[in-house]
Amino acid sequence: MTTRQDIIPKNLKNLHGGEEQLREKALSIIAGDQRLQLHLAVVEAAMDLADLFRQFDTRDEDLKVAQILGMRTFNALAASLKLALSGYHQNSALILRDVLETVFLLNLFAGDRTLIERWRNADRKIRMKDFSPVKVRKALDARDGFTSKRRAEIYELFSEVAGHPTMKSAWMMRPQKEGDAVIGPFMEATALEAVVSEMGRLAVQVGEQINAFLPPDWMQVSPARVAFAQLKYEWISAFYPPARDKSE
């Protein structure tokens, strides 16, 4: 008779046990680093906004699209964090690329909501012509007057180190920078910090874009908006402090 213990093969059970041990190690690393704790705090705040946003009752089909995209960021951040704490840093970063792409799309729609209807009714040809990741990035750069192509650089970095099987992708499979790649999960402070810091950076953007769609008079979301705004200010102050006047 098959028992519940027999459903999962032994080696897979052992793998899960190792993942849980790595999670404890990751939590120990985070417990000793206030910067990592701040990243996770802003991740939680952004996810709270996404969760509340999906609860807003609306018949507006365009707003529903924004809600679904917000839900997508919630799921992706949760999955990315789960993988990062379990020692799968490359796979965690791959999901963060999905967050980045979704944030860019939300940003585009927040700037011109008439594009939402075109996107949701588009066939594949129109979607690739007007809303492919590169088209969205170029549209955002043109709208904002950006010429540095920073959005493209970030997206390409995620693609190279996590999204595609390239030689650079092996970097995230090495516990030590000059060491060998390993199979399976591992926990190392530098790799964890790299992924969690990018997660925090993207969470700030997620919260900003969701906030742009939240009805301003919807009181139910006010506490979460305030909490996110406070954490966002704290996060920016910690990681992007203003330059000091040299005359001081």
Domain ranges, ordered by start, for the chain: 19-239
pLDDT at position 4: 67
pTM (2 decimals)? 0.91
pLDDT at position 1: 52
pLDDT at position 86: 97
In DSSP notation, the chain reads ---HHHHS-HHHHHHHHHHHHHHHHHHHHHHT-HHHHHHHHHHHHHHHHHHHHHTS----HHHHHHHHHHHHHHHHHHHHHHHHHTT-HHHHHHHHHHHHHHHHHHHHHHH-THHHHHHHT--HHHHHHHHSHHHHHHHHHHHHT--S-HHHHHHHHHIIIIIS--TGGGGGG-SSTTS---SS----HHHHHHHHHHHHHHHHHHHHHHHHHS-TT-GGGHHHHHHHHHHHHHHHHHHSPPPPPTT-
Determine contact, residues 108/205, Cβ cutoff 8 Å. Answer: no
pLDDT at position 169: 76
Structure tokens at 147: 């010429």
pLDDT at position 248: 47
Mean pLDDT by 10 residues, the chain (248 residues): 74 95 97 97 98 95 97 98 96 95 97 96 92 94 91 85 78 80 91 95 97 91 94 96 59
